[in-house]
Structure 1
Amino acid sequence: MYFAALLARTEDGWEASDTELDDVETLSDLTDLAREASVDEDTVVVYIEQEDAWFGVVRVDGEEDPRIYVSDASAAARSSYGEILLTDELLGREPGAEDEIAALEELVDLDGTEDGETGADREEADGPTGAAGADLDDDPDAVPAGPLGDLGLLADLGLSEKDLLTLRTDALMEIAEALGASDVLEAVR
């Protein structure tokens, strides 16, 4: 089960709303949703949580690029909403690398050989490790376990890097408390 909330800073404090992510397919969609909730291009914090698995925070300040933090990247990678947050940049990959990898995989059969090549031919050419000296356990698409992203994205709003790292699931109330938005959040939750 997922829960998403939007906290938008205004002159009078914070406004909160629970958010439906049904139409959100990309980080750009999520950023646009946050900007629509923004008053005078002020800060908007989007919180997404998958119960007992992971949470993510996206901070959008006006037209600046979104800042992202995910509590457990490997858990988020197994989630459709988590995949939205785990951008190539956040994962330290070249943009578009997944598209290139997918295109290369189409050229190789499921058994890891090219058309007409046998597994024995491949092992002779590459040795027992697989692809030209690469270790079979060395997966460039692997997503690290644990926290990932901008630890300081809420520091100027009252939640230090250390405090962010200690949060676990159901962290929204602690984040809202640090921001001074717990009352408005309770009203929509």
Structure 2
Amino acid sequence: MYFAALLARTEDGWEASDTELDDVETLSDLTDLARDASVDEDTVLVLIEQEDAWFGVVRLDGEDDPRIYVSDASAAARSSYGEILLTDELLGREPGDDGADLDSLDLDGTEDGEPDDDEDGAGSDASVPHGPVGDSEILDDLGVSEKELRILDAEDALSSIAEALGASEVLETVR
């Protein structure tokens, strides 16, 4: 199960809205969705979590390129929403690298629908690292340090981030 929300900074604090990602197929689609929520081109955060497996943060500041942080790239690679965030650039790959085809993964994390019998995950895409990827300083200026972000548990990460931003009440209204 997924949860996704947009937090847009305004003069009066943060405004939250839940968001459906069903029509979002690319990072560009997600960026457009977030920019539509922006007030006066101020900061917008897209917060995504998949149950207790992983969470991601996409940050947009005006017309700047999106900044992305994913808590566990390997877990995110096994989900359609995580796949949106795991760009070649984020993973340090050349675009079109044949060994990095995330499209061949089913949503359950197995290739071609076959169960992955390797408990260590050796059957998964070796080009996707286990652990966090992206801009771990994405929330530094908003009160969540790199160290704090890296130690957040996927189970309550979004609540912890919202609390640090002073937006926990508005996030809970859309949860």
TM range (shorter): 0.7 to 0.9
User: Aligned partners of 1:147, 1:59: CA distance in 2, in Å?
Assistant: 16
- TM-superposed deviation, 1:141: 5.4
- In structure 2, give the amino acid aligned to 1:20: E
Q: Say whether residues 1:27 and 2:27 are aligned partners.
A: yes
What is residue 174 of structure 2 aligned with on the other side? Answer: 188
Q: Give the counterpart of 1:176 among 148, 152, 162.
A: 162
Q: Deviations over 1:23-66 (max 9, x none)?
A: 00000000000000000000000011110111100001111110
Q: Say whether residues 1:144 and 2:129 are aligned partners.
A: yes
What is residue 47 of structure 2 aligned with on the other side? Answer: 47
Q: Deviations over 1:84-103 (max 9, x none)?
A: 000000000112334x987x
Within-5 A mapping of 1:99-178: 142-169=127-154, 170-178=156-164
Name structure 1 gaps, 5 residues minimum. 103-136
- TM-superposed deviation, 1:69: 0.4
Q: How high is the TM-score relative to the length of structure 1? A: 0.76
- In structure 2, give the amino acid aligned to 1:68: I
User: Aligned partners of 1:163, 1:6: CA distance in 2, in Å?
Assistant: 21
User: Aligned partners of 2:100, 2:60: CA distance in 1, in Å?
Assistant: 30
Query: Any idea what SS the aligned residue of 1:83 has?
Result: helix
- In structure 1, give the amino acid aligned to 2:173: A
Q: Say whether residues 1:59 and 2:59 are aligned partners.
A: yes
User: Aligned partners of 1:101, 1:166: CA distance in 2, in Å?
Assistant: 27
What is residue 74 of structure 2 aligned with on the other side? Answer: 74
Q: Which has the larger radius of gyration?
A: 1
Query: Any idea what SS the aligned residue of 1:44 has?
Result: strand
- In structure 2, give the amino acid aligned to 1:180: G
Q: How high is the TM-score relative to the length of structure 2? A: 0.82
Q: Give the aligned length.
A: 153
- In structure 2, give the amino acid aligned to 1:12: D
What is residue 110 of structure 1 aligned with on the other side? Answer: none
